[in-house]
A and B are shown apart, each in its own frame.
Chain A
Amino acid sequence: MQLFRTISNRLHYFMAVPAILLFSLFFIFPLTQGVGISLTDSNGVTRPDFIGIQNFIDFFKDDRARTDVSNTVLFALGSAPLLNLFGFLYALVLDRTFKGKAIIRAIVYLPAVISPLIMGYVWYFILQPGRGFLFHLLQKVGLDGGNWLADAHSALIVLILVNVWQFVGMTMIIYLAGLQAIPKELYEACEIDGAGYGGKLRYVTVPMLVQSIKINVVTNMIGSLSVFEIIIALTDGGPGYSTESLSIYILRMLYGSFTGYSTAVAMILFVMIVIPVIVFMRIIRKQEFEM
């Protein structure tokens, strides 16, 4: 009885244990193992041999991998800034008071609720070359076109725009939450000092949104660098490998039983994500101190 009481009195020190166990087993443990697997020629069937950094050397000689890296980076460079820009503008509009605000907010968020895979198929109906909704629509008004998915460059742009379209609501809601947390007095003080709309935006809104900016930039960087569902649904990486992302490459190498190589590519993708995120966090921390 005494023991039971002692235990239950200390139980609160152990409340993180379920989370720690779960996360260690299903994330940390596989992650550390992954480092090992990336140094082998494992194919998932026969016994793997240690081959050092051979997989990483292969990666840099692999043309397809190089295309995928540039696709992934270009996609992220287009997608993350656009998402933040439009998310911020959307939030500014939806921060105003008008009737029906809640409904508009929900509608704008709606696409982000749906699986990117299914949403990708929906856009495929609209954009499929020679058959899609847009193709027919343009034909009706006497224009030839709407085959943007058939060309490598325009396909990448379409993928970026579809991604921005789908997740702008997600970015918006974080900015909106940040905007609503700004005390009104700050704006009033700013008005007394004679600032206009631009001044208020520059000296109150943006600095007060640092936390939202942090969350949005980081999640958008991670999300767009590891993109794959939307690409699978819209172009399946094609034409050729011209819109394939690194994540898709990782998945396909897995199916092709290049397990060791696939894991090595995964490690490279990890580094490609962590570096920009850390650099960004450094920059923004410096900004915060200066303010």
Chain B
Amino acid sequence: MKWTRNFWTYAIVSAMALLSLIPFYILLYLSLNTPSRTLFDGLLLLPEFHIQNYADAWQKSRIGSATLNSLIIAIGAVAAIILASSMAGYTIARYNNKLHSLVFNVLLICMMIPAIIITVPLYSLMKAIGGINTHWGMILLLASNGLPFSVFLYTSFVKGLPREVEESAIIDGCTPFSAFWRVTFHFLRPVTAAVVILQGLAVWNNYGQAVFFLQSQELRTIPLAVSMFFQQYGAQWNLMAAASVIGLTPAVIAFLLFQKYFVKGLTAGAVKG
């Protein structure tokens, strides 16, 4: 009885895992084929390990500098999001007043608005402040897109945290502000981890804004570089696949590093709130 139950569990989860992994395998396979080998001669799904594809794709797509741009923007935006939304979440949860509940409700409503909707007016704003084709412009813009959900996560988490957490620090002579940074902020680690993953990926994968506000070649991020490469070399699948692999690797690594904290953070922040 127990044996069959186990068997079925493993059968189902293996199918689920395979379903998720097969496209990645096909991608790797394509990325290691020689250009001359038209697809799948003889169904044997073993690639030819033509590593040269990666060197070519790396060079032609300039994905190296794109990775650097993506990193700068992602780190900047995530730092800004954590800073602004943890403080906001804390003060909204702890010091209830009309302004704070207004801010919270406005953010909740704005969670429903996809960023693409404000592209036009945003463009004239970015032009006016000189933020087009700059790292800082993109950082601030994407940080503000990520704020609603992050503030929501932090606020619900702080509400579940007893006030005693920072009270003893305040009695010891801290101001409530410094008590937050010295004490409370450390208790928020699970939410911070969830915010780093969710918002980090959203920023990292952003295409809808990047395509408008990062038009110069030196500032291209990974999705832009890959899509440009696709338009130029779309017919050469081996190169295209190699570029895709290079493009998606950093996100995969970052996810694997942080995923341990993920469910914990979401449980703490979103689901109980």
Contacts and interface: CB of A to CB of B under 8 A. Distances in A.
B223 interface: yes
A105 B259 CA distance: 10
A277 interface: yes
B37 to A, nearest CB: 12
Interface in A1-53: 8-9, 11-16, 18-20, 22-23, 25-31, 33-34, 37, 42, 44
Contact of B263 (A110, A114, A180, A274): A180
A19 B266 contact: no
A82 interface: no
B118 A108 contact: no
Contacts of B222: 115, 118
B27 interface: yes
Given A11-B177, A106-B259, A270-B113, A22 B144 contact: yes
B147 interface: yes
B114 A273 contact: yes
Contact of A12 (B180, B272, B273): B180
Contacts of B247: 115, 118
B262 interface: yes
A173 B262 contact: yes
B130 to A, nearest CB: 14
A73 to B, nearest CB: 15
A269 B115 CA distance: 11
Nearest to B260: A102
A165 B30 contact: no
A181 B226 contact: no
A152 interface: no
Contacts of B125: 25-26, 29-30, 33
A218 interface: yes
Interface of B is mostly: helix
B12 A93 contact: yes
B43 interface: yes
A232 B208 CA distance: 11
Interface residues of B, number: 93
Nearest to B229: A121
A59 interface: no
B120 A107 contact: no
Contact of B16 (A9, A26, A90, A96): A90
Nearest to A265: B117
Contacts of A215: 270-271
Interface stretch (A142-150, A196-204, A221-229, A283-291): A221-229
B26 A125 contact: yes
A34 B271 contact: no
A71 interface: no
Contact of A122 (B201, B244, B273): B244
Contacts of A218: 112
Contacts of B141: 26
B64 interface: no
A24 to B, nearest CB: 9
B117 to A, nearest CB: 4
A16 B9 contact: no
A231 interface: no
A229 B113 contact: no
Interface in B100-126: 100, 103, 106-107, 110-114, 116-122, 124-125
Interface of A: 8-9, 11-16, 18-20, 22-23, 25-31, 33-34, 37, 42, 44, 90, 93-94, 96, 98, 100, 102, 104-111, 113-119, 121-123, 125-126, 131, 133, 136-137, 140, 165, 169, 173-174, 176-178, 180-181, 211-212, 215, 218, 222, 225-226, 228-229, 232-233, 247, 250-251, 254, 259, 262-263, 266-267, 269-270, 273-274, 277
Given A122-B26, A174-B270, 11 more contacts: A11-B175, A22-B84, A22-B147, A106-B259, A107-B16, A115-B248, A118-B223, A125-B237, A131-B39, A133-B26, A229-B207
8 contacts: A12-B94, A31-B118, A34-B118, A107-B16, A117-B227, A121-B226, A126-B26, A137-B40
